[in-house]
Amino acid sequence: MKKRIAIIASGSGSNAQKIMEHFKYHDQAEVALILSNNSDAYVLQRADNFEVPTHVFDRHTFYQTDEITDLLTRLQIDLVVLAGFLWLVPKNLLDKYPNKIINIHPALLPAYGGKGMYGDRVHQAVLDAGEQESGITIHFVNEHFDEGEIIYQARFRIEPGDSLEVIRFKGQQLEHQHYPKVIEGLLKKM
Ligand code: GRF
């Protein structure tokens, strides 16, 4: 049986798109479900385009019930991939999927991570600090923001004069290039 991936995303879902593309004709794994806490998220449209089932949940369901954990178990999900999802993952879900929930962060953790550090705030902080490089981090998820064990990092140079938009673009390119492959590598070991 193919390994089954669930992606949780709140927004545009460009990473989810790349992951669905990567596994569309894959013989060992598939994207089996896309979940979102935002019923307007564009990622849900992307899922429809790939005929991947979707599920929308709210805060109460996520934190106060076992509904999501039960759904993932029922669908025999092997790996949970966060791709633009900002909520902490509750204990019941972490316990059910130990070292099987991963996240991508648009900087080189442990720097520029933690609560409130997401999206352009991260790139702006990197820019303000005058860094000469930034990158991406793929890591296991634990009960804290951006603190789980690092699985993979990739770097890019920041050239003098690079704007926030340029830094965002360079990071996004690396995310799209590496996230699907890192997921594939993890699934092979499972
Ligand atoms: C990415 O930059 C990722 O690092 C962060 O959220 C963003 C999601 O972007 N966790 P997208 O929705 O996949 O385009």
3-state SS string for 155-180 = EEECCCCCCHHHHHHHHHHHHHHHHH
Q: What's residue 131's pLDDT?
A: 98
Please return the burial class of 64, using the count of CB atoms within 10 Å of its CB with bins 0-12, 13-18 and 19+.
exposed
CA–centroid distance, residue 76 to ligand 1 (Å): 25
Assign 143 a pLDDT band (cuts: 50, 70, 90): very high
- 55, 71 contact by CB (below 8 A): yes
- Residue 104 burial (C-beta neighbours within 10 Å; 0-12, 13-18, 19+): buried
134 lines ligand 1 (CB under 6 A): no
Tell me the per-residue pLDDT of 144-189, one tens digit each, with 9 for 90 and over. Answer: 999 999 999 999 999 999 999 999 999 999 999 999 999 999 999 9
Nearest residue (by CA) to ligand 1, atom 5, is 84
Mean of all residue pLDDT scores within the chain: 98
pLDDT in tens, 100-140: 999 999 999 999 999 999 999 999 999 999 999 999 999 99
Nearest alpha carbon, ligand 1 atom 2: 106
The confidence score (pLDDT) of residue 52 equals 98
Share of the chain above pLDDT 90, in %: 100
Residues known to be catalytic:
105
Q: How far apart are CA 174 and CA 155, in angstroms?
A: 8
With helix as H, strand as E and coil as C, how does 74-103 read?
A: HCCCCEEEECCCCCCCCHHHHHHCCCCEEE
Domain that holds residue 34: 3-189
Question: Looking at residue 87, what is its pLDDT?
Answer: 97
Q: Pick the atom of ligand 1 nearest to 42's CA.
A: 12
- Establish whether residue 139 lines the binding site of ligand 1, counting it when its CB lies within 6 angstroms of any ligand atom: no
5-33 pLDDT, tens digit each: 999 999 999 999 999 999 999 999 999 99
> In this predicted structure, what is the pLDDT of residue 163?
98
CB 174 within 8 A of CB 136: yes
Q: What is the CATH number of the domain that holds 37?
A: 3.40.50.170
**What pLDDT shows up at residue 138?**
98
Q: Does ligand 1 have an atom closer than 6 angstroms to the CB of 102?
A: no
State residue 145's pLDDT score.
Answer: 96
Three-state DSSP state, 150: strand
15 CB within 6 A, ligand 1: yes
At residue 182, the pLDDT reads 98
User: What spacing in Å lies between the alpha carbon of 15 and ligand 1's midpoint?
Assistant: 6
Cα–Cα distance, 187 to 190 (Å, whole number): 5
The domain total for the chain is 1
What pLDDT is attached to residue 105? 98
Ligand 1 lined by 106 (C-beta under 6 Å):
yes
Q: Which residue has its alpha carbon closest to ligand 1 atom 12? A: 13
What confidence tier does 62 reach under pLDDT thresholds 50, 70, 90? Answer: very high
